[in-house]
């Protein structure tokens, strides 16, 4: 039995790291660039909706930064993920592998397609999908035939897998790609939290048939609300842009729509904000990695708790820094979060496992022992880029 965690010691280290740093919200936006200038241009010209120069400029900047050939800006990350699933051919009644430990939007997007989330366990070393456990699970429970991969228990087709780069840490992609090839699955990366993160030197979002980014107010760069679809396949990029623009065929005045589409394009005024933000992204990444390094160093002296560190194959954006309590300290998680927030330091637990939410309680799942253990042991720490200023680079 572990001795009780010294909560006062944990809080003191947290205070020391954040001392003289001003705001200690979980992840606050930073506007020190051309935001006012670009947004004012939208207001002055009247181009504030989904047409305007900043939309395409923002897409071009995303393509340049990530190395992905095509980016399509959307109103939010969930909309981007929904369209990614449509591009992958997910149909009503299909199953899609989703990590049990992820934000609810990952599973919600699956249900928008009429498909069924199938929850899989995570790897404690990556906080993403456990590829080895998934491979074993598929060997026992799936069959592959001319029509694809089928769940031998439910009889449904398993069409895709959505690896999510948790808190910005890239999941181990290579073994997942091998699984997808062997079992005829499409890979869709949920890279909502991973802008600026690299897997073996290549930017996250480059590996699946398509991927989704988010630019919510708490992300590493923000457009207020917003997201993007990334893909390296031109036909998919064209289809994505068509679907997100209500599937309207181009014409100067006629309104002709040739399929069911979605009003998912990012407004120009939001894209203007994004253009200013992405110009500052390298600086944001530097200061966030400084903060992560400070957390890692400072908490080494505290027993019973560990700061999660990027996997060895990756370079993470450290979107959210993460403390993991040792097994046996789960009963102190709520108290630690309560005490820190009372001090004005924003901390939060990880999301409730999707398999435990009422609307997903009947969905298929594998054994989720790792996710269930970590659910009660993860705490996210203040991670705004400004908090890393003045610390050493890594």
Provide the annotated active-site residues. Answer: 219
**E strand residue ranges, 59-134:** 70-74, 95-99, 116-120
DSSP secondary structure letters along 53-78? HHHHHHHHHHHHHH--SEEEEESSHH
- Contact criterion met (CB below 8 Å) for 277 and 195: no
State both tokens at 38.
């670009």
Q: How many Cα neighbours within 13 Å face the side chain of 375?
A: 18
Ramachandran category for residue 3: left, alpha or beta (phi over 0 → left; psi -120 to 50 → alpha): beta
**Dihedral sign, CA of 86, 70, 319, 20?**
negative
3-state secondary structure of 299: helix
Q: Are strands 186-190 and 157-161 parallel, antiparallel or unpaired?
A: parallel
State both tokens at 29.
């936006």
What CA–CA distance (Å, rounded) separates 377 from 288?
A: 23
Containing H/E element for 85?
helix 77-87
């Amino acid at each position: 039995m572990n001795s009780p965690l010294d909560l006062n010691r944990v809080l003191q280290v947290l205070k020391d790291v954040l001392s003289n740093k001003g705001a200690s919200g979980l992840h606050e936006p930073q506007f020190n660039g051309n935001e006012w200038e670009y947004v004012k241009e939208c207001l002055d010209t009247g181009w504030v909706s989904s047409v305007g120069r900043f939309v395409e400029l923002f897409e071009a900047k995303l393509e340049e930064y990530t190395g992905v050939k095509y980016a399509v800006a959307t109103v939010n990350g969930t909309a981007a993920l929904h369209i990614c699933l449509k591009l992958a051919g997910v149909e009503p009644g299909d199953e899609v592998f989703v990590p049990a430990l992820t934000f609810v939007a990952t599973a919600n997007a699956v249900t928008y397609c009429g498909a069924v989330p199938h929850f899989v366990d995570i790897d404690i070393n990556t906080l993403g999908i456990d590829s080895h456990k998934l491979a074993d699970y598929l060997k026992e429970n799936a069959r592959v035939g001319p029509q694809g991969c089928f769940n031998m228990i439910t009889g449904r087709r398993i069409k895709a897998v959505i690896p999510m780069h948790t808190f910005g840490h890239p999941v181990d992609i290579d073994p997942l790609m091998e699984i997808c090839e062997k079992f005829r699955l499409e890979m869709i990366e949920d890279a909502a939290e991973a802008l600026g993160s690299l897997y073996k030197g290549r930017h996250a979002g480059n590996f699946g048939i398509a991927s989704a980014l988010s630019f919510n107010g708490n992300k590493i760069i923000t457009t207020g609300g917003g997201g993007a679809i990334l893909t390296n396949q031109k036909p998919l990029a064209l289809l994505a842009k068509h679907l997100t623009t209500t599937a309207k065929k181009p014409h100067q005045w006629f309104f002709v729509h040739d399929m069911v589409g979605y009003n998912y394009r990012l407004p120009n005024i939001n894209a203007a904000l994004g253009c200013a933000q992405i110009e500052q992204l390298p600086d944001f990444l530097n200061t966030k990695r400084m903060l992560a390094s400070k957390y890692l160093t400072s908490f080494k002296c505290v027993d019973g708790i560990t700061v999660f560190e990027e996997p060895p194959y990756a370079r993470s954006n450290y979107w959210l820094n993460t403390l993991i309590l040792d097994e046996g300290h789960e009963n102190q998680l709520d108290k630690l979060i309560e005490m820190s927030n009372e001090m004005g330091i924003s901390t939060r637990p990880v999301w409730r496992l999707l398999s435990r939410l009422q609307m997903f309680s009947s969905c298929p799942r594998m054994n989720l022992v790792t996710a269930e253990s970590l659910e009660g042991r993860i705490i996210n720490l203040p991670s705004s880029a400004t908090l890393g200023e003045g610390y050493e680079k890594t």
